[in-house]
Amino acid sequence: MGSNSGDYFQNFYIVQSQATSTRYITSELILDYFANTIFPLATITTEPLSTNTTWWQEVKQDAEESSPDYFHTWHKMMQWFTSQKYFIDCACVRIGDSTLLEQINSDNYPKGTIITGCVLPRLIIGLTKSGSLCGLFGFVVQS
C-alpha cells in the first residue's frame, strides 16, 4: 500500500457490548474508538472496499514487484469482508498521509511534537451491529 517497507497485516478488534446507532465507519468513529490517541494533524480517510479508491491505487503501486496472485489475494480479502453477515459496514481506513503531513508548518505542531512521523496505520475493518470493529491492522512506512 505504498510502503517503503515489507509490512504485514495483523488481527485487529475493538469490542463493544452495546448496540450502536452508528451504521458507518467514519473518521469520527475511528477517533472515538481510538480515544483521541491519533496524532491530531493526521488525516483519517475511510473508503469502501472497492477498486475505485485511493487505497486501491496504493495497492496497485506495489503490484509491479509482486507475484501474479497478488491481486487475487486482495480481491479474496475484499470478498470475505463484504460477505460477512455480521458486518453492517466495511472499510479501508487510512490514518495519515505523508504528503499532507510534510506540508504542515512546524509552527502548527502540537506542543512537544518534533516531527510528524512516517509509520502510518492502515486498517481493513468491519463494523458489527453491536458496534465492534473487527479486521486487519497494518501500517505503511512513507519516508
Cα 136 to chain centroid distance, Å, stands at 9
The CATH code of the domain that includes 106 is 3.40.1460
Taking 70 as the threshold, does the pLDDT of residue 131 lie above it? yes
Strand 133-141 with 10-14, pairing = antiparallel
Neighbouring residues of 50: CB distance < 8 A, sequence distance ≥ 6: 56, 78
2, part of any domain: no
User: Within 10 A of 103 (CB to CB), how many other CB atoms are there?
Assistant: 9
Q: What is the 3-state secondary structure (H, E, C) of 67-120?
A: CCCHHHHHHHHHHHHHHCCCEEEEEEEEECCHHHHHCCCHHHCCCCCCCCCCEE
5, part of any domain: no
Q: How far apart are CA 142 and CA 96, in angstroms?
A: 10
pTM listed for this prediction: 0.87
3, part of any domain: no
**How many residues belong to the chain?**
143
70, part of any domain: yes
Taking 90 as the threshold, does the pLDDT of residue 94 lie above it? yes
Q: What pLDDT, on a 0 to 100 scale, did the predictor assign at position 65?
A: 66
- Range(s) of the domain holding residue 70: 10-141
4, part of any domain: no
**Residues 51-61: pLDDT tens digits?**
999 989 888 87
- Structurally, the chain folds into a number of domains equal to 1
